[in-house]
Amino acid sequence: MAAVYKRELHGYFTSMIGYVVLAFMLFFPSVYFIFLNLYSGYPLFGYALSSISFIFMIVIPILTMRSLSEERRNKTDQLLFTSPVSLWKIIAGKYLSMVTVMGAVCLVLCTCPLIIRMFGGIYTLSDYVCILAFFLYGCASIAIGLFISSLTESQIIACVGTFGVLLILYLMPGMTEIIPDTAGASFLGFWLLILLVAYCFYQITKNWMAGVIGAAAGTVILTAAYLLNADAFAGAFPAFLNSLSLASRFDSFVYQVLDVPAVIYYISISVLFVFLTVQSVEKRRWS
């Protein structure tokens, strides 16, 4: 794992990608920091961070696009996957190297609260919590990008795909407003979601019985829940979609709340997508 980690990190800084990412990720927060915190005098560094969280949509796809797609295109994955290192460790090495780039950015950002403190800031601790959340938000986005990179041989498709997914997650709160919030609409929404999950399950396992049984069981449970308490369904589906948004989870940190569920959510998304990446690479060996 250490070998893959070292090579990836070395790769980022012998090509332009590492420097471009660092430059972007440091330039824009700095600009917002100067204007919001120093020039306008807002005491919370979180304002600057939440204003620039859109930057993940631009930078993370660039960081993650080549991680697996390029290996596949150049056939260098044959070296990795025939070496005595398990697939888990290879993927983890790649993921951690990107997390390290993200961590380097956050380390530099850690100086900002100290600068505010020099001018009499009193929210230093909550600012650091905010930087931590920013870091975890980035890690979750990286995991999504890594997964999408494992699906394709083309860096461009990986980049655009990751951008698209991150954009949808970013715009989710706005998009859910157009979904009707009646109980019936939510029931329908959840039901479609169950069918989608069952279909994905079928695609992965190639076992149509498992897919049908999963869909049927989900439908029965959903219907039972709906019959028992239909009122609880009102507005539940938009709220559920909202809770998936990575960006809106970040807001509570800006308002000085240590939002433990959000931390758990970011970590779960990271673990889930690294897991899915391993599965997607493993699956290709067998198809």
Partner 1 sequence: MIEVKNLTKRYGSHLAVDHLNFQVETGQIYGFLGPNGAGKTTTMNMMTGYLGATEGEVTINGHDILDEPEEARRQIGYLPELPPLYQEMTVEEYMRFAAELKQLPRGQRKQLMEEAMEIADIMDVKDRLIRNLSKGYKQRTGLAQAVLGFPEVIILDEPTVGLDPRQIIEIRDVIKGLGKKHTVILSSHILSEVSAVCDHIMIISHGRLVASDTPENLTRMMEGGNELLLTAKTGREQANRILEPLTELKSVEISPSEEASCVNIRLQTEKTVDIREKLFFTFAAAGVPLLTMKASDRTLEDIFIELTENDAKDEAGREPEGLDSAGTEQPEKEAE
Residues that bind partner 1 (CB under 8 A): 2-4, 6-7, 10-11, 14-15, 74-86, 285-286
Considering beta carbons, is residue 63 or 144 the nearer one to partner 1?
Answer: 63
Considering beta carbons, is residue 18 or 161 the nearer one to partner 1?
Answer: 18
Neighbours of 75 (CB within 10 A): 8
Closest approach of partner 1 to the CB of residue 212, in Å: 23
Residues 6+ apart with CB under 8 A from 146: 64, 67, 68, 91, 94, 95, 98, 273, 274, 277
Closest approach of partner 1 to the CB of residue 6, in Å: 7
Considering beta carbons, is residue 4 or 91 the nearer one to partner 1?
Answer: 4
C-beta of residue 165 within 8 angstroms of C-beta of residue 149 = no
Residues 6+ apart with CB under 8 A from 262: 133, 249, 250, 252, 253
Closest approach of partner 1 to the CB of residue 108, in Å: 25
Residues counted in the chain: 287
C-beta of residue 70 within 8 angstroms of C-beta of residue 7 = no
Considering beta carbons, is residue 5 or 265 the nearer one to partner 1?
Answer: 5
Q: Which among 35, 31, 28 has a CA at the least distance from the CA of 54?
A: 28
Considering beta carbons, is residue 177 or 285 the nearer one to partner 1?
Answer: 285
Closest approach of partner 1 to the CB of residue 67, in Å: 13
Considering beta carbons, is residue 4 or 63 the nearer one to partner 1?
Answer: 4
Considering beta carbons, is residue 6 or 117 the nearer one to partner 1?
Answer: 6
Closest approach of partner 1 to the CB of residue 7, in Å: 5
Closest approach of partner 1 to the CB of residue 286, in Å: 4
